[in-house]
A and B are shown apart, each in its own frame.
Chain A
Amino acid sequence: MTSASSLLTALVMNPAVILVAGAIFGAFIPNGFAAIRRPLMLVFVAVSAFQLNRLGLGEYGVLSIFGEPVTMLRVDPLSRLFAVVFHIATALNLIYAWHSRDRALDFASLAYPAAALGGVLAGDLITLFVWWEIAAITSVFLIWGPGTRATFLAGMRYLTIQVLSGVLLLAGIVLVYRETGSFAFEEIGLRDASGAIKASGLLILLAFGIKSAFPLLHNWVQDAYPKASFAGTIVLSVFTTKLAVASIARAFPGTPELVWIGAVMTIFPIFFALIENDLKKVLCYSINNQVGFMVIGIGFGTAASINGAVGYAFTNIIFESLLFMAVGAAIHRTGTSKATELGGLYKTMPLTMIFAIIGAMSISAFPGFAGFVTKGLIIDAAGEANAFWIWLVLLFASAGVLEHAGIKIPYFTFFAHDSGKRPKEAPPAMLFAMGVSAALCIAIGVYPEPLYALMPHQEAIANYHPYAPYHVVEQLQLLLWAVLAFAVLILVKWYPAEVASTNLDTDWFYRVPGRGLFGWAVAAVGAIWMFSSRILSERFMGAIRRVYALHGPEGALARSWPTGFMALATAIVLGLALIIAFAA
């Protein structure tokens, strides 16, 4: 059994615990001193990053709990890549909402990334489960932030789904332990040696699938994320799905089913994003689409495709956040994220517009930007696997990304029809965070070697040249002709106008018929309970009355008290003996 001192040592050395300490410390700073809260929390992020770098690759905090080894901290190439980008995103998110006076938002902006960081650094399944649940609980505060009935209900739905993911994970962990006798978090796989699907693998893949928003399990993202404040949505957009991607990459590399799941993920959000009026929701669909690329890369399971999947996750966190930040700045200044109410903001928010376009070009994977140097690895992997239809799907999805994230977001926010709104440019802190993100998008795009050095399979990245002439030309053809199609559709007025509406998705099933069914079930159970209790209470009271009539002061057996009591006691003892004999 682990001593308290070794447990304390294991906790103190963990970068995730350092962030948790920062979150708790920040939560105790009263609003009167709110101006120093985020700067101090940023110090904790710096200390955590320093500790991650100081530790280097290795396993730390190996403890024995009830005789089972538990590795609380594992820094390997896979977890290090995610840990690095989580630190970058956490710092930028803290800077973005620098002037926040919301203590709950500030707490969750550090506690939730801390949980995600702890999850990717977990060396065993028990540690993963603990951080998995902490991530669910801390993130819901971001959704509840605005404090309305709609955000409360959305938060409850979100929490239910996240806890369901945790329950499935726990059940899977139990089965893995029964199969292997270990809690080690290594490759699990969906099938056993005979090719049959393992219950353990299925449960854990479902748990990861919920968090990474697999098709039909995806709609909690669009339901919950846009309900948070704009600063909260940016924080939410980064961590949960990427923690799941990191977990899938570790547990299910080379699972062919993931290729098809990922293919569906890349395609269907494109169409929902096209008709969506709320630009926050458009970006949420974009998360689904982008994670689809990563899932496909993991599904192929080659060294190059895994590099592509996790490298794309790294760059996606930066450029997707940048797009959320740009839309968030527009919301901050105009009070709306509806495409029908925005437009023409480039006139007074030129810097935000430039940053948004850099984010859009990055997510579209234009040469020179971050998406280009990582997405190509995944598309190449489809070619290497001779998966022609998946390759076509990836190209189709790339055109789709350009449509909803590359064009729709900047076009309807900053150009399109003039909304007449003339807001001020975004505040300096927001501009700084967006500027650093944009600079990273370009820096990684132009000089990807430092990112490549972080990738888990160095042997596979050594001979990859993203700027091979054919790759640049192929990508430019795909994107420029897609932009041309957009221009033509606008000119001939075939591009659909934005319409203020709510678009039904899979959440409809549990928000309308599911809710009705739940209400009916509650009423039915209540009625059955009332009916049963009335019947039973009548029977019970009748029995009491009969016993009382016999043994009470006026009863026949009370005339000789010891005899009457003896008869009652004997009946009770015989009854008990009968029950014990039956049970035995």
Chain B
Amino acid sequence: MADHSGDGKQGWADTKAFRFAFLGVLIIAALASAVAGFLPQFQKDHPHFSVEGMGAFFAVYGFAAFSFIVLAGQHLRKLVSRKETYYDERE
């Protein structure tokens, strides 16, 4: 069990400085990986599929896939979500 309730102090991950730094590093790393995809030394010699030869395919696909999962997936709630005690009331 929790030993004591929250003290209201802001942790390092809650500071704006950390959030900006994290986001900055993430954006730089993501852009760098996308740019690297266009450099010949980071491309596959014999790609299986033509899309692999498109420098930023994996970046676009990763962004789109993640966004789709979150934006479309949350609507599944409308179909399958019930109150927490749903089964307790029936068993």
- Interface on A for B, CB 8 Å cutoff? 149-150, 153, 270-272, 274-275, 333-335, 344, 346-347, 383-384, 386, 388, 391-392, 395-396, 399-400, 402-403, 415, 418-424, 469-470, 472-489, 494-496, 499-505, 511-512, 515
Q: How far is the CA of A347 from the CA of B86 in the complex (A)?
A: 34
Do A501 and B84 touch (CB < 8 A)?
yes
Q: What's the least CB distance linking B78 to chain A, in Å? A: 10
Chain B hits for A335, CB < 8 A: 1-2
Q: What's the least CB distance linking A295 to chain B, in Å? A: 20
Q: A422-B3, A487-B26 are in contact. List 7 more A-B contacts (CB 8 A).
A: A271-B76, A395-B65, A400-B65, A477-B34, A478-B59, A487-B23, A515-B90
Chain B hits for A470, CB < 8 A: 42-44
Q: What's the least CB distance linking A143 to chain B, in Å? A: 15
Q: How far is the CA of A272 from the CA of B14 in the complex (A)?
A: 29
Q: What's the least CB distance linking A470 to chain B, in Å? A: 4
Partner of B2, one of A396, A402, A422, A476: A422
Do A395 and B81 touch (CB < 8 A)?
no
Q: How far is the CA of A376 from the CA of B4 in the complex (A)?
A: 45
Q: How far is the CA of A260 from the CA of B44 in the complex (A)?
A: 27
Do B73 and A270 touch (CB < 8 A)?
yes
Q: Provided the pairs A420-B6, A478-B59, A484-B26 are in contact, do residues A473 and B82 lie with their beta carbons within 8 angstroms?
A: no
Q: What's the least CB distance linking B28 to chain A, in Å? A: 10
Do B41 and A481 touch (CB < 8 A)?
no
Do B60 and A391 touch (CB < 8 A)?
no
Dominant secondary structure of chain B at its interface with chain A: helix
Partner of B74, one of A347, A402, A469, A496: A496
Q: How far is the CA of A371 from the CA of B1 in the complex (A)?
A: 33
Q: What's the least CB distance linking B84 to chain A, in Å? A: 5
Chain B hits for A483, CB < 8 A: 26, 30
Do B87 and A420 touch (CB < 8 A)?
no
Q: How far is the CA of A469 from the CA of B42 in the complex (A)?
A: 5
Q: Give B20-49 interface residues, CB cut-off 8 Å to A.
A: 23, 26-27, 29-30, 33-34, 36-37, 41-44, 48-49
Q: What's the least CB distance linking A520 to chain B, in Å? A: 15
Q: Provided the pairs A418-B14, A470-B42, A473-B37 are in contact, do residues A485 and B62 lie with their beta carbons within 8 angstroms?
A: yes
Q: What's the least CB distance linking A162 to chain B, in Å? A: 20
Chain B hits for A476, CB < 8 A: 29, 33, 36
Do B59 and A481 touch (CB < 8 A)?
yes
Chain B hits for A484, CB < 8 A: 26-27, 30, 63
Partner of A423, one of B3, B58, B83: B3
Do B62 and A473 touch (CB < 8 A)?
no
Q: How far is the CA of A153 from the CA of B88 in the complex (A)?
A: 11
Do B82 and A504 touch (CB < 8 A)?
yes
Q: How far is the CA of A192 from the CA of B30 in the complex (A)?
A: 50
Q: What's the least CB distance linking A225 to chain B, in Å? A: 16
Do B65 and A482 touch (CB < 8 A)?
yes
Q: How far is the CA of A480 from the CA of B74 in the complex (A)?
A: 22
Do B26 and A271 touch (CB < 8 A)?
no
Partner of A512, one of B36, B41, B90: B90
Q: How far is the CA of A421 from the CA of B2 in the complex (A)?
A: 6
**In the complex, which residue of chain B has the Cβ closest to the Cβ of A347?**
B11
Q: What's the least CB distance linking A259 to chain B, in Å? A: 16
Do A482 and B66 touch (CB < 8 A)?
yes
**In the complex, which residue of chain B has the Cβ closest to the Cβ of A402?**
B66
Partner of B69, one of A271, A419, A473: A271
Do B33 and A473 touch (CB < 8 A)?
yes
Q: Provided the pairs A473-B42, A484-B26 are in contact, do residues A502 and B34 lie with their beta carbons within 8 angstroms?
A: no
Chain B hits for A482, CB < 8 A: 62-63, 65-66
Chain B hits for A469, CB < 8 A: 41-42
Q: Is B17 an interface residue (CB 8 A)?
A: no
Q: How far is the CA of A329 from the CA of B84 in the complex (A)?
A: 23
**In the complex, which residue of chain B has the Cβ closest to the Cβ of A504?**
B80
Chain B hits for A403, CB < 8 A: 66, 69-70
Do B2 and A270 touch (CB < 8 A)?
no
Q: Provided the pairs A270-B69, A334-B2, A399-B69 are in contact, do residues A480 and B84 lie with their beta carbons within 8 angstroms?
A: no
Partner of B62, one of A347, A383, A480: A480
> 17 A-B contacts, Cβ less than 8 Å apart?
A153-B91, A334-B1, A391-B49, A399-B65, A420-B6, A423-B3, A473-B58, A476-B29, A480-B30, A481-B66, A482-B62, A486-B70, A499-B81, A502-B81, A503-B82, A511-B90, A511-B91
